[in-house]
A and B are shown apart, each in its own frame.
Chain A
Amino acid sequence: MSDEIIQIETPFQFNEENKREFDELIGRYPVKEAAMLPTLHLAQKQAGYISPAVMKYVAELLELTVMKVKDVVTFYPMFFEEPVGKYVIRVCHTLPCALRDCKVVLEHLKAKLGTDIALETNLAKGTTDDGKFTLMKVECLASCDVAPVIMVNDDLYKNLTPEKVDEILAQLPN
């Protein structure tokens, strides 16, 4: 596949720390390609989302075509191809959470943030205008005993009620 289809705006590069981490990562696998997921996670942590520039950079690092990287990025729900809010709120809505009223939590979040729910193909739909939050529904987060649960970026919050959601949102740094 030709790489030219992808418009590259500003080139992307790992910062010092991530470069070091990447160098350590790559030694773990007999083939470079296997470092794909950890590398993409690192890149997303730095860039916020996987832009075409990031894909190009990762492809060069792993000696693959850009299409190969895009192929992988599109498969996994945790990689974003568009900018997302500073805080990504993932609301679990699979059966055990549904049995414990995750709908109430979701509706509350929607009203409170004044946004819709993001679609995997349209993240902007669930992102607040100030770019602070992205609200998404996700499948089982493996915490069914403390349902309903949400994740705010990397942190899990348990046994939620609308009041608890308010508290959590209030204590997030700006």
Chain B
Amino acid sequence: MVQERRILYEHLDTPNINTYDVFRQHDGYTRFEKAIAEYQPEEIADMVKEAGLKGRGGAGFSTGEKWSFVPRDIEPRYLCCNADESEPGTFSNRYVLEKNPHLLIEGILICCYAMGIETTYVYIRGEFTLGKKMLDAAIKEAYEQGYLGENVRDTGLNINIYTHPGAGAYICGEETGLIESLEGKRGQPRNKPPFPAVQGVFMKPTVVQNVETLCNLPFIVGNGVEWYTQMGPTYGDARFDPPKADPNTGTKLYCISGDVNEPGVYELDLGLTCTELIEVAGGLRGEEVKAVIPGGSSAPILTHYELDTRLDFTSLTLAKSMLGSGGIIVMNETRNIVDCLLNIMKFYAHESCGQCTPCRWGTPWVRDIVQRIADGDGRQTTITRPKFGVTESGRWGDTGETEEIYEDLDLLENVANNIANVDTMTWNTICVFGIAVSWPAVSYMRKFRPEFEAAIREGKLVTLPVAEATVPPEENYAYQQRIIPKEFADL
């Protein structure tokens, strides 16, 4: 069985690790001291790039690359730490804030040093009252110890960290929504470009980084790039000549919930399969896996045929899904996929910020369609329509066949695809919330179509056995198009 490798979470359960003294005993702040003693800021940024660290908040964008977009001649620059954690199924940041807040502070310090940043805002979701309290206490200690404030540890650096509470809006997790919210406005995302790296909070260059991403920095600096890149697969992209390395390095705090025996956060090297992860989490609660959501509720669902997919950024993207925030939700054979989709669509309909028409109206529309299917009022039309094809006489023409059309399923796909088209990956909205709506809507419907059809036909929710509910691999669009990435070393 795959073994947990605790790095970020190593000292999570050490008593009093939230205090400076205990944190210090476990190498606390030594990595920051190493960074300022041994490296120039630019060298740290290069190390992060070489380590292949990818953002853990959702987009999976290379952190080093993001830093390279920040113009270093515009002052001041800001760091916003994204602790808004509201993607359903994700809960790893919470434990860092509540139990080991000094680790986050050390990560922030390293980022500030590397980017020449003096002010950091940690945007914590409003419901994390305990997390905010613990972090505030840790920040106070760090000021007392001279790691924050003016002239940090006699290096001439000035670094300040402030916590900023959110107020219950999911969209404030989106980086530009977060910035607007931080500025004291409605958390409505901005049009991009300009990207936050160029014009972010208070229109100044801003680095937005997830808690987990920042917590990786002390270990990259402390143990070196070589050590870091040994964990997790590095794939190669053979379309380039010579092949381009695509690192999925490091560990990931996988959050697993739903129908498993021991839900929780497991820190594992990137790149294990769904099946392995379920095993690590104490095995399935129930008889059979029906479906797995691999990256928070925004990610397209995986069927039981796709459980061999490796849970890393590249593999999941090539399997037409995403690792997202790493929130894995497992569903067993007793679950009804229509019901699950309804739950998720209610969430999105509630959370749309209302700026863009396709999202504002489309999302409740999708919810209403799923609602009426679940209520047994789904629309089904049986019509005789000229189904063109090769006729008996061998010519192209009207075959005269009767087709049963599930009007609501066509409508569902149509509406969702007009918010954001999952096939072409284009969206008609300001932010990618639109994709987060249409991805689940379309993938659930296409991959578990028999269950949707049954609900419409029978006029009530019908939970089919797993084998019947799932579209077979030959008809599964994602399964057909998926690509298994190759290891860089094998190319």
Contact = CB atoms under 8 A, between A and B. Distances in A.
Contacts of B256: 145
A70 B214 CA distance: 35
Contacts of B129: 154
Interface residues of A, number: 40
B102 interface: no
A48 interface: no
A128 interface: no
A140 B255 contact: no
A108 interface: no
B86 A145 contact: no
B169 A75 contact: yes
Nearest to B293: A95
B437 to A, nearest CB: 14
A41 interface: yes
A46 interface: no
Interface in B30-63: none
A91 interface: no
Contacts of A142: 85-86, 90-91, 93-94, 125, 127-128
A38 interface: yes
A34 B184 CA distance: 4
B186 A35 contact: no
Interface in A80-116: 90, 93-96, 98-100
A41 B165 contact: yes
Interface in A113-145: 138-145
A75 B87 CA distance: 18
Given A35-B184, A95-B329, A95-B344, A145 B257 contact: yes
B395 interface: no
Interface string B345-367: 00100110100000000000000
Given A37-B184, A94-B347, A144 B166 contact: no
B184 A62 contact: yes
A157 interface: no
A20 interface: no
B467 interface: no
B69 interface: no
Given A33-B183, A99-B259, A78 B329 contact: no
Contact of B91 (A90, A99, A100, A145): A145
B414 to A, nearest CB: 24
Given A94-B347, A141-B127, A154-B129, A33 B184 contact: yes
Interface string B155-171: 00000101011111110
Contacts of B353: 75
Contacts of B93: 142
Interface string B173-194: 0000000011111110000000
A27 to B, nearest CB: 10
A144 B255 contact: yes
Given A72-B186, A96-B257, A140 B343 contact: no
Given A96-B329, A140-B347, A37 B88 contact: no
A9 interface: no
A140 B264 contact: no
A140 to B, nearest CB: 4
A31 interface: yes
A68 to B, nearest CB: 8
A95 B345 CA distance: 10
Contacts of B351: 139
Interface in B183-208: 183-187, 202
Nearest to B160: A28
Interface in A26-74: 28, 30-31, 33-38, 40-41, 62, 71-72
A75 B166 CA distance: 11
Contact of B166 (A37, A71, A154): A37
A76 B335 contact: no
A29 to B, nearest CB: 8
Interface string A147-165: 1000100101000000000
A147 B86 CA distance: 15
Nearest to A31: B202
Contact of B167 (A40, A99, A147): A40
B264 to A, nearest CB: 4
Contacts of B166: 37, 76, 78
A12 interface: no
B222 interface: no
B91 A143 contact: yes
A76 B343 contact: no
A77 B257 contact: no
Contacts of A62: 184
B168 A140 contact: no
28 contacts: A34-B183, A35-B184, A37-B164, A41-B126, A75-B169, A76-B166, A76-B169, A78-B167, A94-B343, A94-B347, A95-B344, A96-B88, A99-B329, A138-B168, A139-B347, A139-B350, A140-B86, A140-B88, A142-B90, A142-B128, A144-B91, A144-B263, A144-B327, A144-B329, A145-B256, A145-B263, A145-B265, A156-B130
Interface of A: 28, 30-31, 33-38, 40-41, 62, 71-72, 75-79, 90, 93-96, 98-100, 138-147, 151, 154, 156
Given A76-B187, A79-B167, 20 more contacts: A33-B185, A35-B184, A37-B164, A37-B184, A76-B169, A78-B126, A94-B297, A95-B89, A95-B344, A99-B258, A99-B335, A139-B170, A139-B351, A141-B127, A144-B89, A144-B257, A145-B255, A145-B265, A154-B129, A154-B130
